[in-house]
Amino acid sequence: MKHVITLNVNGDPYAIAVNPWQTLNEVLRENLNLTGVKLGCGEGDCGACTVIVDGRAVSSCLSLAVEMEGKKILTAEGLAPTGETLHPIQEAFIDKGAIQCGFCTCGMEMSALHLLTKNPSPTESEIRESIAGNLCRCTGYTKIVEAIGAAGEKMRESSERKSS
Amino acid sequence: MKEFSIVGKHVPRNDARAKATGTAVYTDDIKLPGMLHGRLLRSPFAHARIVGIDTSRAEALPGVKCVITGEDIPKVKYGNWRLFPETQDEYALAVDKVRFIGDEVAAVAAVDLDIAEEALGLIEVEYEELPGVFDIDSSIKEGHPVIHDYCPTNISVDRKIEYGDLEKAFAESDYVREDVFTVHPVSHAYLEPCSALAQCDLDGRITLWTSTQVPYIIQCLLASTLEMRENDVRVIKPFVGGGFGGKMELRAWEFCAAFMAKKTGKPVKFTLSRDEEFLAGRRRHGMKLYSKVGFKKDGTLTGKDFRVYLDGGAYNAMGPTATFLCGNFGAMLYRYPSYRYLGEHVYTNKPPASAMRGFGAPQAIFATETQMSIAAEELGMDPIELRMKNAQVSGDEITGFATISSCGFKEALEKVAEMSGWKEKRGNPKEGRGIGIGCYSFISGGAFNWFNTQYPYSAAEVRVFDDGTAHLLTMAADIGQGCDTALKQILAESLGLKMEDIRITSADTAMTPQADLGAWGSRLTLFNGNAVLDAAEKIKSKLYGAVSARFNMNVIHDFECKNGRVFPKGKPDRGLTFGEAVAMVQKAQRGEPLLAHGYYTPRDKGLVTPAFSFGAQVAEVEVDKKTGIVDVKKFWTAHDCGTVINPRAAEGQLEGSIQMGLGYALSEQFIMDGGKTLNTNFLDYKMPNAMDMPPSEVVHLDTYEPEGPMGAKEAGEGLAIPTAPAIAEAVFNATGYRCRDLPITPEKILKAIEESESEKGGSKSTMK
């Protein structure tokens, strides 16, 4: 029997009927057509499906949809909602050449957001640790680590500007 | 070095914004109205006869729209070596027999995935199990089970290369050594699982969206297996999440999607699970390599006898090409006055091996480089000194086979020695620390035509408009490596336009010019870059004519396109804007739009490639002698890829190559129980993550390849080669353990440390 869940995705409210075995990944990809949420392994190993649920980075492929009642979910599509300006993390990924095939990119950005929200000035090894659950086969992670560092700097500058 | 405006600059990728915002659409992201979901039934046996298949219960399941087996499909085999039809050994679905665990037996299309999956469980297959063979030796031993009836020896392809008088060379050598190396299979492990979606158009034609490196090859092979005309099949490559050689053949799900779309009249999509990718997916060839090499006392190479068996798995896949390239790269890097190669591709009851980044070269060069380092040790020479002595240089020729038109190998060796502090570190060894070198050479696209195309190898169409913009159309497949961006850069540079002035349409076989052999063998920058330049030159000659006429110029004047203008050289004030010049041509042509086609097919460039890349890499390691764990401290790389078109993209290729090379050397392997792959997930298949990556420094050497577009050659695959031999030599330097069988594991290191240093394994050498 299907359950109706209500949740907020990228700022918008949804009520969706889901089977008890359906994952959050299926709901985001199949019901909401969010292509920024990938499915690389379905086993929580690769990180390509990472989204933010109530402020925490989680593997959407391991999260059951029925547990998402009342949750706030953010995907790469919600990072820069106006579609005009980009989020500093997205900007940095583009500028630093951190993107090749792009299949891991959105998941990486979500893990980066989780890190930078908690820790605005991470060290290189903290950055590496924060994306240790996000696999990439193209970049060797070098430019991704650089991009996250650069995004952190930008986000710090803009929050300092706001607070001053 | 020539000065460029856009080539060689930090230009962001064409598709970076789409990928960063999640709007880039990959095959599995596409949904069509009425679409069915497909799943494949795979063989649980490594080798078995199919006695019978009963699909009736699956067909009766509500929601199931189509079930097919090998009985239902046209009996047309496929394979990429069309020139030799006997090598085409694969049906999309097994006919009569299965040959590996995971071999595709039946396919189901249903209204949703859950029903398709349930239907798989309702298909009853009766198998009669046959004895299987799981390694090279047992596959070619007398009395072995035969895997394909057409091939009673189980050796499906052999390739020979021979030049010089090898026997004389060995007789005149002061030092001859023989070693046996084994290398293991590894996974491409691209992040995007394979996916294909087919639609049957109203007129019966097929459109296939697929995660592929080779749209044209898929178009041709899909047409032949569906018994359709090539032009009735359209293949579109959406964004692709990596390939590395694992997506360069027609595969069962591509055929089944198209066949079932025709049968049901509805779009059908297949997407593989990660478990299927690891269980049954293509992999790099495991090989057994016998190498005998001779030297003079002073270290000069005299000759090499190289005999290699490739563990091909159950089908040829890209094995025949790997067999050839392995032999070619056995004789690259150094000057071998004589050389003999025999490579044999052996069937086993395992998932088929195929092309993987380096395509036969990583294995050959692991053997070459390790043997060079052993020889240096025994000759009492420094490993870099021995390499310098024998290094190939620009202009070297292997008669009738290959010419090295540009070569920065010696410069690369000198540079990495300097960057890494080689002399100091080799001279003053620290306990548990070691430093080692590995080198590489690779092709910039293959000159061979085993696919037997009747079209140019690469093509481009350039359309220009009177608003000062251009449209580039090419079948080149960007699978993440960034060729769309590189080709746009080359066109923008040539026409004097900006990146944003150029629109690109790529990798759609019905919309882009015939043809393109695909993204493999590091061919796109050189081949397609040349095709783009050919088209651009034709456009420019028309524009120059128009400007010449407009200003009534003397015929002796030459022209150029730069900064959005077309003008006589040295007289920028006399020219027109690019758009005005296009308008002039259109006027002269009474409205006919200005467009041009460009092509590139290597002619008279030998049997291998028009251009070779070169490079050298040093690795420094620390080995914990209690645990055997290798910690790579740093890599230094110097490489010669000719003109660097896009520095960030070239660095990205290196950085990704190091990740793959590091895994190949130390952590990645398939754990097999006979024909069964046991580690079918990313948790148990250990590819390096962000915390495993050592720091790295790189120098792009300043070289110019005369055959390449604006001097460029390959940077995509060669860089994946040197890492394993560099680490192996560094581990030897640290511990005395000489790895002759990859991967380098803590167990092997600890065992070697325990055993006496005098242990020489399966090798012998003679010093006169």
In this structure, the answer to whether residues B533 and B387 fall within a common structural domain is: no
Confidence (pLDDT) at B489: 98
Tell me, yes or no, whether B137 lies in a domain.
Answer: no
SS3 B167: helix
A164 CA: distance to closest CA in chain B (Å): 30
How many residue pairs bridge chain A and chain B with CB atoms within 8 Å of each other? 183
Chain B residues lying within 8 Å of A48, measured CB to CB: 191
* Cβ–Cβ gap A46/B481 under 8 Å: no
Q: Are A85 and B639 in contact (CB under 8 A)?
A: no
- Which chain B residues contact residue A37 at CB under 8 A? 22
Cβ atoms of residues B503 and B720 within 8 Å: no
CATH value at residue A12: 3.10.20.30
The verdict on residue A100 lying in a domain is: yes
Looking at residue B659, its pLDDT comes to 98
**B570-617 pLDDT, tens digit each:** 999 899 999 999 999 999 999 999 999 999 999 999 999 999 999 999
In chain B, the number of structural domains is 3
Burial of A158 (0-12, 13-18, 19+ CB in 10 A): exposed
Q: Which residues in chain A have Cβ-Cβ distances shorter than 8 Å to B190?
A: 101, 103, 137
The pLDDT of B255-273, averaged and rounded, is 98
B184-243 pLDDT per residue, tens: 999 999 999 999 999 999 899 999 999 999 999 999 999 999 999 999 999 999 999 999
- Is B138 a domain residue? no
Lowest mean pLDDT among A48-57, A139-148, B386-395, B753-762: B753-762
Share of chain B above pLDDT 90, in %: 96
Q: Which of residues A58, A78, A98 is at a domain's end?
A: A78
Structure tokens at B761: 């394994």
Q: Which residue from B242, B651, B655 is facing A101, i.e. has the nearest CB?
A: B242
Whether the Cβ atoms of residue B409 and residue B421 lie closer than 8 Å to each other: no
Residue whose pair of structure tokens reads 């993107």 in the numeric block: A99
Give the pLDDT confidence of B113-148 residue by residue, as tens digits.
Answer: 999 999 999 999 999 999 999 999 999 999 999 999
B473 and B610 part of one domain: no
Which among A100, A103, A135 has CB closest to B652?
A100
How far is C-alpha B225 from the chain's CA centre?
A: 25
User: Contact B656/A138, CB-based, under 8 Å?
Assistant: yes
Task: Tell me what pLDDT residue B766 has.
Answer: 65
Q: Do B24 and A102 touch (CB under 8 A)?
A: yes
Percent of chain B with pLDDT over 70: 98
Is B21 in Cβ contact with A46 (below 8 Å)?
Answer: no
Residue A128: its chain B contacts at CB < 8 A? Answer: 690-691, 693
Q: How many CA atoms lie within 13 A of B567 on its CB side?
A: 14
Could you tell me if residue B2 is inside a domain?
A: no
In terms of domains, do B269 and B287 share one?
A: no
**For residue B293, what pLDDT band results from cuts at 50, 70 and 90?**
very high
Kindly identify which residue of chain B lies nearest to residue A48, measuring between CA atoms. B191
Structural domains of chain A, count: 2
Q: Select from B600, B627, B662 the last residue of a domain.
A: B600
Domain with A102, as residue range(s), is 88-163
Residues of B whose CB is below 8 A from A2: none
Nearest to A97 among B25, B648, B659 (CB): B648
Q: Mark whether B65 and B199 lie in a shared domain.
A: yes
Identify whether A133 is part of a domain: yes
Same domain, residue pair B591 and B673:
no
Q: Residues B358, B425: one domain? A: yes
b/e string for A18-40 if b means 16 or more Cβ within 10 A? beeebbbbbbbbeebebbbbbbb
Within a domain: A152: yes
Q: Do the Cβ atoms of A48 and B191 come within 8 Å?
A: yes
ipTM: 0.98
Domain final position from A49, A78, A107: A78
Contact flag A128-B682 (C-beta cutoff 8 Å): no
| Amino acid identity at B320 | P
Q: Do residues A127 and A96 share a domain? A: yes
Q: Give me the helix-helix angle, A142-163 and B647-662, nearest 10°.
A: 120
Chain B residues lying within 8 Å of A105, measured CB to CB: 19-20
Residue B182 lies in a domain: no
Among chain B residues, CA nearest to A51: B22
Domain boundary among B538, B570, B600: B600
Q: Are residues B566 and B481 in the same domain?
A: yes
Q: pLDDT tens, B371-423? A: 999 999 999 999 999 999 999 999 999 877 899 999 999 999 999 999 999 99
pLDDT, mean over chain B: 96
CB contact under 8 A, B481 and A100: yes
A residues 42-71 lying closer than 8 A (beta carbon) to B: 42-43, 45-46, 48
Look up the CATH number of the domain holding residue A144: 1.10.150.120
List the domain range (segments joined by +) for residue B590.
16-22+457-600
Residue B568 covered by a domain: yes
C-beta of residue B55 within 8 angstroms of C-beta of residue B217: no
The string of pLDDT tens digits covering residues B496-531 is: 999 999 999 999 999 999 999 999 999 999 999 999
Q: Which residues of A touch B656 (CB under 8 A)?
A: 100, 136-140
CB contact under 8 A, B682 and A145: no
The verdict on residue A127 lying in a domain is yes
Do residue A74 and residue A92 come from a single domain? no
Among A43, A78, A113, which residue terminates a domain?
A78
Tell me, yes or no, whether A147 lies in a domain: yes
How much is the average pLDDT of B735-750? Answer: 97
Question: Which tens digit of pLDDT belongs to each residue from B154-165?
Answer: 999 999 999 999
Do B712 and B745 have their domain in common?
yes
pLDDT at B1 > cutoff 60: no
Which residues in chain A have Cβ-Cβ distances shorter than 8 Å to B649?
97
CA distance linking residue B5 with residue B519, whole number of Å: 26
| Chain A residues close to B668, C-beta within 8 Å | none
H helices present in chain A, as ranges: 24-26, 88-95, 105-118, 124-130, 142-163
Contact present, A123 and A87 (Cβ < 8 Å) = no
- CB contacts of B13 in chain A (<8 Å) are 94, 97, 99
Picking from B18, B652, B681, the nearest residue to A45 by CB comes out as B681
- Same domain, yes or no: B435 and B581: no
| Amino acid B534: pLDDT | 98
Q: How confident is the model at residue A93 (pLDDT cuts 50, 70, 90)?
A: very high
Look at B21 and A90 and tell me if their CB atoms are within 8 Å.
yes
Domain termination site, one of B556, B579, B600:
B600
- The CATH code of the domain that includes B555 is 3.30.365.10
Answer yes or no: do B648 and A125 touch at CB < 8 A: no
Determine, yes or no, domain membership for A54. Answer: yes
Model pLDDT, residue A160: 87
Are the CB atoms for A109 and A93 separated by under 8 Å?
yes
Nearest C-alpha neighbor of A15 from the set A7, A23, A24: A7
Q: How do residues B447-463 score in pLDDT, each as one tens digit?
A: 999 999 999 999 999 99
A122 inside domain: yes
**A67 and A9, same domain (yes or no):** yes
Kindly identify which residue of chain B lies nearest to residue A105, measuring between CA atoms: B20
Contact B208, B240 (CB under 8 A): no
At residue B637, the pLDDT reads 98
Residue B293 shares a structural domain with residue B357 = yes
- What single-letter DSSP state applies at residue B742? S
Q: Does B570 touch chain A (CB under 8 A)?
A: no
Interface mutation vs chain A, best among B11, B14, B19, most A CBs within 10 Å: B19
Cα separation, B618 vs B387, whole angstroms:
13
Let me know whether B520 and B406 are in one domain.
no
B273: CATH? 3.90.1170.50
Q: Which residues in chain A have their CB less than 8 angstroms from residue B655's CB?
A: 139-143
State whether A101 and A137 are in the same domain: yes
CB proximity B658 to A under 8 Å: yes
Residue A83 counted as domain residue: no
Q: Answer whether residue B144 is part of any domain.
A: no
Burial of B41 (0-12, 13-18, 19+ CB in 10 A): buried
Quick one: B270 and B295 in the same domain? no
The beta-carbon neighbor of B690 closest among A83, A109, A141 is A141
